[in-house]
Amino acid sequence: MKLLNRVLKGDVRAAAQLIRSLEDDVPEAVAELKDVYLHTGQAYIVGIAGAPGAGKSTILESLIDIFRKGNMKIGVVAIDPTSPLSGGAILGDRLRMQRQGADEDVFIRSLASRGWKGGLSKATMNTVHVLDAMGKDIIFVEAVGSGQGEVDFARIADTSIVTLIPGLGDEIQMMKAGIMEMADIFVINKAEREGSDNLRMSLEAMLSMTPHQPNTWQPNILLTEAILNKGTEQLAKVILRHKDFLISSNKIEKCRRRRAELELTAAIESTLHHHLETMSGCLLVKLIDDLVLRKTDPKSAALKVINLPEQK
């Protein structure tokens, strides 16, 4: 039987194997993706980002418990960095999600970034699709613990959570561009620590600089102590409230388009990349000759390679 048929029945082993084969670009699996995609679009996607060690995985463990009480089926895709030196990786997010370790309806998958930029990994969306096709109601995507520029998690998510902890910066960090602009919900975790009130005040000050438009979502600021499950009930409520807002205002459509756009551009890029790697050497050599002889320029040569007409 094709893996997909088993995935649709909720077969964990089949789903895990399909995810793996998709990540490794195994041709048979990639061929199945067409059908997988037709069975997706049901799950609600929540992205979470923040500095390394801010508590993202711990927050997820607590949230999963709460959503499981509502009998929701949960998927988690957690990305950790690949070593640029060895190509290996330690995937340790699962370590923080032990309570769900024996729950059949919670599927946690760790991915290594494998050099992908933007805080996710190339395989992230395909993994989300398989979990979606499997019937998960909510899928959490934990981005690589990172700095300010990695915003792809928010492009694929319906609800974006940015996790902060006291003591890492001041108001200037709040003004900088990047993930701070992407949050639907700010979580100040490790709130027992000194400085969490100051952090909340600077966040509020930052948010008050953007005047509130009618019919837009005003980002929330929540304080949590995830390790003690404090504040996470409230966080779960706000996630659901944001979901209701997206649906009632039909902004959910925008999330879907944004996600589709990111996937499309990534697919075009990787297809071109693949095309370039497998392209007959002759054409490349010929174009390089032409470049050296100044018979053409790099841009025109590139257009010739991907078979596009010259731009006027």
Partner 1 sequence: MNLERKARVLIAKPGLDGHDRGVKIIARAYRDAGFEVIYTGVHQTPEQIVNAAIQEDVDLVGLSCLSGAHLYLFSEVMRQLRERGADDITVIGGGIIPKEDVPKLREAGMKEVFLPGTSLAQIITWTRENIKLK
Ligand X SMILES: Nc1nc2c(ncn2[C@@H]2O[C@H](COP(=O)(O)OP(=O)(O)OP(=O)(O)O)[C@@H](O)[C@H]2O)c(=O)[nH]1
Burial 241-271 (b: 16+ CB within 10 A, else e): ebbebbeeeebeeebeeebeebbeebeeeee
By CB under 8 A, the residues from 12 to 41 that bind partner 1 are 12-13, 16-17, 19-21, 23-26
* Residue 93 or 158 having the CB closest to ligand X: 93
Whole-number Å distance between alpha carbons of 232 and 141: 17
Q: Does 53 bind ligand X (CB under 6 A)?
A: yes
By CB under 8 A, the residues from 43 to 82 that bind partner 1 are 82
Q: Please tell me what DSSP assigns to residue 124.
A: H
Binder of partner 1 out of 1, 71, 88, 294 (CB under 8 A): 88
* Residue 8 or 301 having the CB closest to partner 1: 8
CB 258 within 8 A of CB 246: no
Whole-number Å distance between alpha carbons of 229 and 108: 20
By CB under 6 A, the residues from 182 to 241 that bind ligand X are 189-190, 192, 225-227
Q: Does 52 bind ligand X (CB under 6 A)?
A: yes
Q: Does 249 bind partner 1 (CB under 8 A)?
A: no
Burial 174-195 (b: 16+ CB within 10 A, else e): beeeebbebbbbbbbbbbeeee
Which is it for strands 74-80 and 185-188: parallel, antiparallel or unpaired?
A: unpaired
Binder of Mg ion out of 93, 132, 184, 263 (CB under 5 A): 93
User: What track of x and - describes contact with Mg ion for positions 45 through 64 (by CB under 5 A)?
Assistant: -----------xx-------
Q: Does 56 bind ligand X (CB under 6 A)?
A: yes
- How many chain residues interact with ligand X (CB under 6 A)? 17
Shortest separation between residue 111's beta carbon and partner 1, angstroms: 9
Shortest separation between residue 76's beta carbon and Mg ion, angstroms: 10
Which strands, in side-by-side order, build the sheet including 106-112? 106-112, 74-80, 138-142, 44-50, 159-164, 185-188, 220-223
Interface residues with ligand X (CB under 6 A) are 50, 52-58, 93, 96, 145, 189-190, 192, 225-227
Interface residues with Mg ion (CB under 5 A) are 56-57, 93
